[in-house]
Amino acid sequence: MDYDLIIRNGAVATTDGSFEADIGVRGGVIVALARGLAGTAAEEVDAAGMLVLPGGVDTHTHIDQPPEGAVRQCDDFAAATTSAAAGGTTTVVCFAWQLPGTSLAAEVAAYHQRAAAARVDYAFHLTITDPTDTVLRDELPALIAAGNSSIKIFMTYAGSRLSDAQVLEVLEAARSNGALVCVHAEDDALIGHLTRRLIAEGKASPKYFPQSKPILGEAEAIRRIATYAELLDVPVHIFHVSGAEAAAEVERAQRRGVRLSAETCPQYLTFTAADLDRPGFEGAKLMFGPPPRSPQDHEALWRALRRGVLSVISSDHAPMRFDDPQGKKVAGEGAPFDRVPNGVPGIATRMRLIFSEGVSKGRIGIGEFVALTATRPAKLFGLYPRKGAIAIGSDADLVLWDPAHRGILTHAELWDANDYSPYEGMEVTGKPMITWLRGRRVYAGGQPVGGPGGGRFLARGIMRP
Amino acid sequence: MDYDLIIRNGAVATTDGSFEADIGVRGGVIVALARGLAGTAAEEVDAAGMLVLPGGVDTHTHIDQPPEGAVRQCDDFAAATTSAAAGGTTTVVCFAWQLPGTSLAAEVAAYHQRAAAARVDYAFHLTITDPTDTVLRDELPALIAAGNSSIKIFMTYAGSRLSDAQVLEVLEAARSNGALVCVHAEDDALIGHLTRRLIAEGKASPKYFPQSKPILGEAEAIRRIATYAELLDVPVHIFHVSGAEAAAEVERAQRRGVRLSAETCPQYLTFTAADLDRPGFEGAKLMFGPPPRSPQDHEALWRALRRGVLSVISSDHAPMRFDDPQGKKVAGEGAPFDRVPNGVPGIATRMRLIFSEGVSKGRIGIGEFVALTATRPAKLFGLYPRKGAIAIGSDADLVLWDPAHRGILTHAELWDANDYSPYEGMEVTGKPMITWLRGRRVYAGGQPVGGPGGGRFLARGIMRP
Amino acid sequence: MDYDLIIRNGAVATTDGSFEADIGVRGGVIVALARGLAGTAAEEVDAAGMLVLPGGVDTHTHIDQPPEGAVRQCDDFAAATTSAAAGGTTTVVCFAWQLPGTSLAAEVAAYHQRAAAARVDYAFHLTITDPTDTVLRDELPALIAAGNSSIKIFMTYAGSRLSDAQVLEVLEAARSNGALVCVHAEDDALIGHLTRRLIAEGKASPKYFPQSKPILGEAEAIRRIATYAELLDVPVHIFHVSGAEAAAEVERAQRRGVRLSAETCPQYLTFTAADLDRPGFEGAKLMFGPPPRSPQDHEALWRALRRGVLSVISSDHAPMRFDDPQGKKVAGEGAPFDRVPNGVPGIATRMRLIFSEGVSKGRIGIGEFVALTATRPAKLFGLYPRKGAIAIGSDADLVLWDPAHRGILTHAELWDANDYSPYEGMEVTGKPMITWLRGRRVYAGGQPVGGPGGGRFLARGIMRP
Amino acid sequence: MDYDLIIRNGAVATTDGSFEADIGVRGGVIVALARGLAGTAAEEVDAAGMLVLPGGVDTHTHIDQPPEGAVRQCDDFAAATTSAAAGGTTTVVCFAWQLPGTSLAAEVAAYHQRAAAARVDYAFHLTITDPTDTVLRDELPALIAAGNSSIKIFMTYAGSRLSDAQVLEVLEAARSNGALVCVHAEDDALIGHLTRRLIAEGKASPKYFPQSKPILGEAEAIRRIATYAELLDVPVHIFHVSGAEAAAEVERAQRRGVRLSAETCPQYLTFTAADLDRPGFEGAKLMFGPPPRSPQDHEALWRALRRGVLSVISSDHAPMRFDDPQGKKVAGEGAPFDRVPNGVPGIATRMRLIFSEGVSKGRIGIGEFVALTATRPAKLFGLYPRKGAIAIGSDADLVLWDPAHRGILTHAELWDANDYSPYEGMEVTGKPMITWLRGRRVYAGGQPVGGPGGGRFLARGIMRP
């Protein structure tokens, strides 16, 4: 046997487009790309008429986090990474999440243990919610040096948010130690004020939730963190940009030369605020923050994606069951929107939605699709060239993708531990048929292959100062 | 006698320029403007070759405020308003300043008493530093209804600043009760962070002070308050815009249709950050916040003034003695800059500096001078047409101004209680020769006329919702 | 008699608002403003409850121009200025219009003769359509020095337009001689191209006319002339800005410090492109260039007026009869839109429309109304303080204005020589009751007073280099 | 033999960076990329320590054009393409240049003949200087269909420039037939005006040349063509963007969604206007249009390149000998600058300058270098994936590049027919050691390999409408 795996005759996708070639894999690594590749392999697949994609890299996922109060995210590593594999994603970056008053290092250690069940490869963002001296001075340098070179902070959400002073301290520490800081940027005070006003006015059902988190408050918070990034000269990445004015603020900073990057997520390209107006408590299924905006915002986001203002599409997978006292109904059915936990699952649907809405509808090319879902996130977070590309020497994380498949999304095929999908019933074009992690099948024929586990921790290098 | 006062042959200045006319005053009010005014008066003045200006309206002055800790502003009402009159200013709006834990209503009452010594007319901004329910719900409505229809809040300075949540509550209360909210807009967390870093690096002398308060932090805070103003639909006025990027942010909001107005002050048009680099502790004499910027910022501010982006020039008179343990040296000579109280006197020099730098140097016309120093501040704060204009029915607050006078500014002629002027030794063109308040001389021949007192409280109407 | 005219108890309007005063006029000049003005007058008017406005200054009017081909504008000086007086306008600036191949000086001389019939005061813009050496070097300096210190040029319209090279030569000559250059800024080539395409596609009726002159072409031409103005350092005034993108381009230049001013006209604040879709040939009554845009553009223009980006509202009075082989039907009823002459009458309706749409509907204050319709145009074109203000020494051009009058506009009350008004049937609030020119009634009680003539030529000073 | 050529152990460069791999070539095409590629080849090269780049794609070159008057560009196809190969460029797009009054089709035919001497592959832009009906309707469709799917037009230069009306006609024809329009965008009238003024003032030496072509005129012309592109919905590519304000205008259009792309050239990243101030006539060696600007513009251009606003770096190779009556001295040594032909050679130096100034100095990464010099120009002009990439199935146009080589640029090693290089004496890092065209060496060891000829015409597909 010359190879462990040969995929023949596929259209191999890169950030520049696609070309027809056979792919030869040995030892988990891509070792050959060729026309008419000589040799044999233990597994040979004919990909004629198919795309072969680099496995998706999803750099914004909540997996098996510690519960916050009574709320528990339902996906452990086994569930979330099976769901990832089913969706064509082979690398996830999730959150090693410090709860206030606890040790970040201890959480990372525990997270490593829980992650043993992962079916795809993984890395950790360090979520800092309590930036004590111990955390910033004693723990952080070693944690970053150990390959966790990205930090997540919140500008909103009680229990998670940092004060502006703390934000600045974290940025300073990130700069000293070589980490990228990812930010949930929304104006907390504004959200609190509007929420109180809406609830007081009796506007408490899910459909009012978007009014509590206006895009102007998001844009303003982006401007704030961009100002900090500029003055402290530290790279910052904005999570889940939701619409036109937020993207414009990102661009404005980039034009000044600020080292600011940003992502959006499928939910901001598919839903609108109006979609939350569903009967009963159903709107809670679409409650995530920031909220979705308008069709005009969708097009503004696509334009920003094409122009490179936004360089990543992640899922912000945040799985909470709907009909569950540890999920959306933690405060009961019909609770006011400020008592409903935010977040939706999406790790399995990210690639399909973007392929369908983007590539199939002509908004982006296949090269841009690869860049947004795999290559650029891998590069930004220090995973490239190991991940995010079909290139000699890269891990053989590959997806056999049927570009012509048309189907209806149903929760049944997503393999997460949730009890619903926000995309239930949506018609999409394109589907992952087989997913390989380092040359080994992890998903095929609509089923996970083998048991959980097998994913590896990805230690990442530090960021340039 | 037909009139109490006739000023003949002067060039009467309005926002549109000047025209030659005689002015007839009766009962403290301008009752006639005419060529060759018939009749006689108790006082007749020949103003040939002179300008006659509407008395200056200075809408940002600190007078006789309660001490903060050991720091005491040195000007009581007698001193500050004598200084105002000496500088051609006949209306001041100063701060009825709530200290945390105290009643705003009580402070206003006390302030009324202290103001009895005022030599010019006065109104109060309500400075809120502790927006308790009692203040916002019980006291504020009556105080605004009683003619104090403007509020001052701080986004920075320990002891004065409000949290963003409090800012929003005050804006909401202002909207309900019809008040304009004036804002000291600088990013507090950023200033704290940079200050700590500079001090830690041993950069503690006054010349490092401007680095602790970068204009990007000012622009960012303006953006934040403008966002709040837009979302809550409430008018906001930005105090002491210090340079290009801050003015650009004001303009950006105005272009969106936000009801945002703004002022600058003479110190931002005359000093630069480099001016703080003086021997010994002398730089402390130029410590005010935000700090002065650069010559390019001066020109950007003049352009913004001409284009109406900035519509007011105030003094931000904040008198603290230099060689004084209750003033700049409260923490001793050579204390680190974060221990030096901010502020400079300027109530007497405002009109002369703007006339000299603006009108005499051709940057603005006489109409713009009148607009910026008298008419627009009067209009913005509800004092017009009683104040801020030479028009029939307006108060006869008048200044005989020699436009050709060239002189050197010295502290001796400013009549405040300070021990220095930041402008000492500066050559200026133009000088007030006589100042009348409601037809009565309050300053003439280089001397105050009569004793203190005589100024009246100006109750102002509420703002449109 | 102490005065020729006293108007008592009116609300005297200035750019700052209004104040109650009596006005005393002698020798055609305002000599007194007073409370309870002593003395008597040949004419005394009680203006209680009324506004007294400075007579309108309309700085963009086509009056008694030489015919172009078969097209003849229908208003001679008698008709146009009677119409002006009926609308509260007492100063017009019209075009001494050089036809290609003719002498500009000769045209000015002839124009002076024709203007003897004017009922209000007048000045001339020099319309240059053929900038030969003779015109620019031999004629222009003397014409400017004789008080015609403004030039009009066209960037579009065959027979009138200058090439870009000629535009630059005229700007250079204007700079040397101290004239302001007014520009009709639209991209000629683009209009030609789109017109040919539309006609070829059979889209020839008036409703397609706006598509031939898109606002992007207007904005582009403004950008071009602003670039020339910046590089040659010469003041330029943009005529008839029609909507948002054009105004934005004006502002962009102003922000750079370019000496660029601009006007709009009532037709751009009241009509939209959709209004041209009328039965039969009726749409031709609303054909003027640039065309009207959209309701969003109306609001953008009002915002630009409030913010000072646009500083003048003129009429662009261009009277061509509708049912007339020398007017709109020069090429016959139903001719393709490129054969229909552009222009609408508006000299009589300008003040009423702006008062009604602006002041009565709360979009601008009375001060802004005075500024836009009288003071600022007078200042910009060198007519102030003689014209455009109620101030001591200014010409007694006054309008008794009933602010509460509600009525329907009909052509019958406009006193021009046209056969229609585009505003026929529109309901407006506010109406001029009496118009005085230099203290003499020229219109009252719905009728012109006396015969034509009596208007004077206004020689204007040169512009600062 | 398994392959014609194997390059082993090199760092293979793509737009995403580089990876180590062996490259196998057969039949002129890349057929294998592998670790430890099995098999043998006629030519085997060890590239350890070297980069292997895709051959450069230079989409803006003047080669063997018909003389204009007495001026003759000195490079025929043999010289220019030898120079290209020496500089690591294997594809050139040059101009089939219609002279006024001639047939474009005939010129293309003649150009095909002259191009037989080409040593690298080539394609043609159709330069239209006389857009008659014959050209646009009879010739253009067939020429585009034959693979010449790009058009070049000039907005300035007598003899070449089109009127705006002609520009619009060409854009319309390009849209109908599926061609991209490349534009030399500068305001012709402005340049003419300033040139005449400068010459008249005696400012005629080369150092005044940049003053005749200010960047504001370039930005204005870009705005004009972008407006046309937007309104006609046709893709346009801006040639040689020279500095900040021009790039800002490109970006502004892109932000609106206009299909506008743009390039810059090495000369705008290395020279400044001040460099033209050389003794005697030496400044003529740096005369090209638009002219170079300032160091600030260099940095603005790099930023625009990194952000994707500018997506291509071409050479604008325009070889005219200096000491030659058919070159720079056509009007004699010391002729006024408007008599000196514009243009500099650069086909051989493009890749080295950008590698040195960009990659070696840390301004861009190797991926961006490949994108700007090969992949993106190939994609934009319809040459990808055949050209511009090292990928399976792509032409084996390859360059063995020594990234560590430091040397001094001298004209001797550039192999063109010129008598100077503007870069003479400049120190650069990085050098092409061997250049292969479709697997065959065309340059190696500092020498061309074999005789001229061997390059092929590249027919390109049409652009999407």
Residue identified by tokens 């200010």 is D214
Residue C270 has pLDDT above 70, yes or no: yes
- CB distance B224–A220 less than 8 Å? yes
Q: Per DSSP, what are the bridge partners of residue C29? A: C26, C395
Instruction: Give the gap in angstroms from C-alpha C437 to the nearest C-alpha of chain B.
Output: 20
Angle CA(B40)–CA(B42)–CA(B47) in degrees, nearest 5? 75
Interchain pair D19, A384: CB under 8 A: no
Stated as kind and residue range, the H or E segment containing D430 is: strand D427-437
Structure tokens at D219: 């930005």
Best mutation target among A1, A9, A35 (most D Cβ atoms within 10 Å) is A35
User: What is the spatial distance between Cα C317 and Cα C333, in angstroms, rounded to a whole number?
Assistant: 23
Amino acid at B161: R
Chain A neighbors (3+ CB pairs < 8 Å): B, D
pLDDT for res B69: 87
CA distances from D192 to D196, D214, D332 (A): 6, 12, 21
Query: What are residue A52's DSSP bridge partners?
Result: A12, A400
| A165, A189, A216: residue with CB nearest B168 | A189
**Whole-angstrom Cα distance, residue D163 to residue D238?**
17
Instruction: Please identify every stretch of chain B with a pLDDT value under 70, giving residue numbers as ranges.
Output: 465
pLDDT the model gives residue C465: 59
DSSP B378-401: HHHTT-TTTSS--STTSB--EEEE
Q: What are phi and psi of B405, to 5 degrees?
A: -65, 130
Question: What are the DSSP calls for D4-47, one per residue?
Answer: EEEEEEEEEEETTEEEEEEEEEETTEEEEEETT--S-EEEEEE-
User: Does residue D464 register a pLDDT over 80?
Assistant: no
CB-based contact D32 A34, cutoff 8 Å? yes
Chains A and C touch (3+ CB pairs under 8 A): no
Interchain CB distance below 8 Å, A12 and D392: yes
When CB atoms are compared, the residue of A16, A33, A257 closest to D389 is: A16
CA distance B312 to C385: 25
Cβ of A187 within 8 Å of Cβ of B164? The answer is yes
Tokens of D284: 């003529």
Distance CA C293, CA C295 (A): 7
Pick from D15, D21, D29: which is nearest to A392 by CB?
A: D21
Largest CA distance in chain D: 72
User: Tokens standing for B323?
Assistant: 């060689």
Q: Please name the helix (run of DSSP H) or strand (run of DSSP E) that holds residue C112, with its range, or none.
A: helix C104-114
C134 close to C452: Cβ distance less than 8 angstroms: no
Which token pair is C460? Answer: 């204007």
Smallest Cα–Cα separation from B316: which of B184, B437, B160? Answer: B184
Which of B38, B39, B257 has its CB closest to that of C303?
B257
Tokens of A439: 């040359």
* Residues of D in Cβ contact (< 8 Å) with A375: 16
Closest residue of chain A to B189, computed from CA coordinates: A165
Q: Is C107 strand, coil or helix?
A: helix
Is the pLDDT at C333 greater than 90? The verdict is yes
Q: Which of B276, B268, B274 is CA-nearest to residue B247?
A: B268
Note the pLDDT of residue A81.
98
Residue whose structure tokens are 């605020």: A273
- Beta carbon pairs, C and D, within 8 Å: 66
Interface ipTM above 0.90: yes
Nearest Cα of chain B lies from the Cα of C35 at a distance, in angstroms, of 5
Partners of residue C213 in chain D, C-beta under 8 Å: none
Measure in Å the smallest separation between the Cα of B400 and chain C Cα atoms: 18
Tens digit of pLDDT for each residue in A289-305?
999 999 999 999 999 99
pLDDT digits (tens, 9 = 90+) for C83-141: 999 999 999 999 999 999 999 999 999 999 999 999 999 999 999 999 999 999 999 99
pLDDT at D68 exceeding the cut of 90:
no
Residue D228 with chain C: CB contacts under 8 Å? 190
β-pairing, C398-408 with C51-54?
A: antiparallel
User: B232 to chain A: nearest residue by CA?
Assistant: A194
Which pLDDT band holds residue C451 (cuts at 50, 70, 90)?
confident
State both tokens at B21. 């006319």
Q: Which residue has the tokens 């009108």?
A: B359
Give the A:B interface size as CB pairs under 8 Å: 66
> Which chain A residues touch B164 with a CB distance below 8 Å?
187-190
Q: Name the region of B202 (left: φ>0; alpha: ψ -120 to 50; beta: rest).
A: left
Among D15, D32, D38, beta carbon nearest to A16: D15
SS3 D440: strand
Q: What is the pLDDT of residues D262-301, one digit of tens each?
A: 999 999 999 999 999 999 999 999 999 999 999 999 999 9
- Whether residue D465 is predicted with pLDDT greater than 70 in this model: the reply is no
Q: Which residues, 6+ apart, have CB-to-CB distance to A269 below 8 Å?
A: A298, A301, A302, A353, A354, A357
In this prediction, residue A53 carries a pLDDT of 98
| Interface contact C393-B20, CB threshold 8 A | yes
pLDDT value for D229? 98
Burial class from Cβ neighbours inside 10 Å (0-12, 13-18, 19+) for residue A405 reads: middle
pLDDT for the residue D108 = 97
pLDDT for A263: 98
Any contact of D with B, at least 3 CB pairs below 8 A? no
Shortest distance between the Cα of B109 and any Cα of chain A, in A, equals 31
Q: Among B33, B385, B389, whose Cβ lies nearest the Cβ of C392?
A: B33
Cβ–Cβ below 8 Å for D220 and C230: no
Measure the CA–CA gap between C80 and C94, rounded to whole angstroms. Answer: 10
- Asked whether the beta carbons of residue C224 and residue D219 sit closer than 8 angstroms, the reply is no
Whole-number pLDDT of residue A57? 98
C neighbours by CB contacts (3+ pairs under 8 Å): B, D
Strands (E), D285-384: 312-313
The neighbours of chain B, by the rule of 3 or more Cβ pairs under 8 Å, are A, C
Closest CA to D118 of D417, D447, D347, D453: D453
Name residues whose C-beta falls within 8 Å of residue A434's C-beta, 6 or more positions apart in sequence. Answer: A45, A399, A400, A441, A443, A444, A445
- Residue D375 distance to chain A (closest CA, Å): 8
Q: Could you tell me the pLDDT band of residue C361, with boundaries at 50, 70 and 90?
A: very high
What's at A215, amino acid-wise? I
What's the whole-model pTM score? Answer: 0.97
> What is the bridge-based pairing of β-strands B17-26 and B29-34?
antiparallel
pLDDT at A308 exceeding the cut of 80: yes
Which tokens go with D413? 């090693």
Q: State the pLDDT at residue B1.
A: 79
Three-class DSSP category at A180: strand
Q: Is the pLDDT of residue C464 over 90?
A: no
- What is the rounded CA–CA span in Å between residue B329 and residue B325? 5
> Do you find a cis peptide bond into D403, omega within 30 degrees of 0?
no
CB–CB contact D190 C163 (8 Å):
no
Which pLDDT band holds residue A1 (cuts at 50, 70, 90)?
confident
Contacts of D230 in chain C (CB under 8 A): 216
CB of A118 within 8 A of CB of A448?
no
Out of A164, A214, A220, name the one closest to residue B223 (CB): A220
Q: Which residues of C touch D219 (CB under 8 A)?
A: 227
- Choosing among B171, B222, B225, B227, which should be mutated to test the A contact, i.e. which has the most A CBs within 10 A? B227
D220 vs C172, C193, C224: nearest CB: C224
Mutation site, D33, D311, D379, interface A, largest A CB count within 10 A: D33
| pLDDT for the residue numbered A465 | 59
Who wins on pLDDT, C432 or C1?
C432
Query: For all residues of chain D together, what is the average pLDDT?
Result: 97
